[in-house]
Structure 1
Amino acid sequence: MQFEQLRALAAIIDEESFEGAADALRITPSAVSQRIKALEASVGQIVVRRGSPCTTTEAGSALLRMARQVQIIEAETRAALGNGVAARTVTPVAVNADSLATWFVPFLAEAAGWADTTLDLRVEDQDHSSTLLRQGDVIGAITSDPAPANGCRAELLGHMRYLPAATPALSERFRTDDGLDFTRMPMLQFNAKDDVQQRFLNAHGVTETPPKHLIPSSEAFLAALRAGLGWGMIPELQLGTDLTDGFLVMLEEDAYQDVPLYWQTWTLKSERLNRITEAIRRASRQLH
């Protein structure tokens, strides 16, 4: 296998197609196809599933991880041999939406000063983001998975605390002599993978599924909560003064769920990866 072949593989996955990869690499789609065919011939396996978007096979995922690592090492080597300024390298990182909307922002402020890095943030639920790391799609992931992926290390950053909240009007509307009627009160859910609300309901013995609204945006989720569309588990870091100002109320005093967040990244020795890790550690000090 050759560097050009690995570059073509990474470009196809990043751009989601052979044509997009050709534009990014400034070569023809035919040249991209030839490089992938040569790569597949050298390893004796199919590495790319042709589709929309293109995805890697299991063998392709292993090669994609190598391609990402080669890109970082190559950029740092060129800088060491040149004028000391590394060319900008695309750095894909997986992060969950709630983190991106809250404690992760200071990391972005630090990254703004890096002349050698452009970020490619992949937003994925914290329970599933480590999958992107295992597939080679990203070089690091904010995840709730404590088990490091193969060839990676994991460190606990802290816990994101979620509080059950709603508007006072919605809470009163569904309050009964026995407490809140969670089977009838509408619930907000980030997406189909989001089960933090369901875990709260399970803890309260609620077996029926309440009406639910899917709100696939952290900012819109908070806006929907404030609008009274439903109740939801909201990150404490995102609430601001909503509770003290009375715009929202806790559905149950002292009730919360702490979700652990880990930073997983390769064990590769790299100044760039070390810098990213240190910046994420500093930003995560806001967590419990």
Structure 2
Amino acid sequence: MVDLQPDQLRALDAIATTGTFDAAARHLGVTPSAVSQRMRALEAAVGQVLVRRGRPAELTPPGQVLVRHARHLALQQADVLAELGIADRGAAAGSGPPDGGPAAPPLPEITLVVSGDALTTWALPALAEASAWARLEVLREDEDHSIGLLRDGTAVAAVTSVAEAVPGCRSTLLGTMRYRPVASPAFVERWFPDGPTHEALAVAPVLAFDRKDDLQDRYLRARAAGGPALDPPRHHVPASNEFRRAIELGMGWGMLPDLQSTASRHAGRLVGFDDAHAVDVAQHWQQWRLHSASLDRVAGAVAAAARTALS
């Protein structure tokens, strides 16, 4: 029977989190030699290479499986200690209350991945509420790519546009965000005097969030309707508020969620120039299948916020 030792799993988790054996040692408060010994012992126990040594160190597929297991255990242990009111004796020195009183039970650590648009528009208040009972690390990733962070164990839950559950996860529909093509009034007057024709869309500058952002191309594919592909000049602005502001300043047109663009449209800073081709993007909550009261509470807070904000 393979016996997975907690200190070995913590070493693997620390390597995955920090990227190097030396940083993992500092994170754990042990020597680099101790981390190396634990990893050799864990790899010998499972009979597989778990980490490709380098800078940064990279987990192999079996290493990713064990990291997910290690984080499952850490989250469940934190839940149990919090329920019992027991302080984490492994916590870093000096982390107790400033008056020298008894240490508080540990808050479970939960890593989530959320798109920049969801953070900007509706998800952040739910996460602020959840911060009362969990220590959150929120990673920003494009909705279509966030499941990769679930699959490799980096995150335990995600707000994503992908409906199909990652193996080991469950998926719940939260609602829909509607995106529509918008631009400044002056941009529309200059580039779309006759509307968003195929010829105009082929040359009018477009804004994308980053190179993973496919929303603008999804719209352009629909507008091409089997004709020649549309590939206009484009700029990239990888921050949600700045992306909206760049559109207002006339750098290009772009797809914005109604939750983010409504105020600017009402104020006349933006106009929707092709509302008939708005794009609806479903929002799903995916989380690991494990018993964790704190993760379930976070899921409940996110679902409640989605019911209020999304269609």
Interval containing the TM-score (normalised by the shorter chain): over 0.9
Counterpart amino acid of 1:283?
Answer: A
CA contact 2:221–2:230 (8 Å) conserved in 1: no
Residue of structure 1 equivalent to 2:252:
230
Counterpart amino acid of 2:161?
Answer: S
Task: Give, in angstroms, the shift of residue 246 of structure 1.
Answer: 1.0
CA contact 1:156–1:262 (8 Å) conserved in 2: yes
Question: In the aligned structure 2, how far is the partner of 1:178 from the partner of 1:237?
Answer: 24
Match of 2:69, SS state, is helix
Instruction: Point out the more displaced range, 67-76 or 178-187.
Output: 178-187
Question: In the aligned structure 2, how far is the partner of 1:52 from the partner of 1:100?
Answer: 31
TM-score by length of 2: 0.87
Counterpart amino acid of 1:192?
Answer: R
The count of residues paired between Structure 1 and Structure 2 equals: 286
Q: 1:209 aligns with which of 225, 231, 248?
A: 231
Q: 2:171 aligns with which of 151, 154, 162?
A: 154
Task: Give, in angstroms, the shift of residue 75 of structure 1.
Answer: 1.4
Question: In the aligned structure 1, how far is the partner of 2:124 from the partner of 2:276?
Answer: 27
Residue of structure 2 equivalent to 1:192:
211
Counterpart amino acid of 2:305?
Answer: A
Counterpart amino acid of 2:60?
Answer: T
Residue of structure 2 equivalent to 1:256:
278
Question: In the aligned structure 2, how far is the partner of 1:53 from the partner of 1:95?
Answer: 24
Question: In the aligned structure 2, how far is the partner of 1:73 from the partner of 1:268?
Answer: 8
Q: Which has the larger radius of gyration?
A: 2
Residue of structure 1 equivalent to 2:181:
164
Counterpart amino acid of 1:228?
Answer: G
Unpaired runs of 5+ residues, structure 1, are none
Task: Give, in angstroms, the shift of residue 43 of structure 1.
Answer: 0.9
Task: Give, in angstroms, the shift of residue 178 of structure 1.
Answer: 6.5
Query: Map of 1:79-158 to 2, 5 A cutoff?
Result: 79-83=82-86, 86-114=105-133, 117-158=134-175
The yes-or-no answer on 1:18 pairing with 2:41 is no
Match of 2:202, SS state, is coil
TM-score by length of 1: 0.94
The yes-or-no answer on 1:282 pairing with 2:304 is yes
Residue of structure 2 equivalent to 1:183:
202
CA contact 2:108–2:294 (8 Å) conserved in 1: no
Q: 1:267 aligns with which of 272, 285, 289?
A: 289
CA contact 1:95–1:129 (8 Å) conserved in 2: yes
CA RMSD in angstroms, aligned pairs only: 1.7
Instruction: Point out the more displaced range, 104-113 or 242-251.
Output: 104-113
The yes-or-no answer on 1:65 pairing with 2:68 is yes
- Give the 3 Å change call, closer, same or farther, for CA 48–146 of structure 1 in structure 2: same
- Give the 3 Å change call, closer, same or farther, for CA 215–185 of structure 1 in structure 2: same
CA contact 2:220–2:230 (8 Å) conserved in 1: no
- Give the 3 Å change call, closer, same or farther, for CA 44–76 of structure 1 in structure 2: same
CA contact 2:127–2:302 (8 Å) conserved in 1: no
Task: Give, in angstroms, the shift of residue 250 of structure 1.
Answer: 0.7
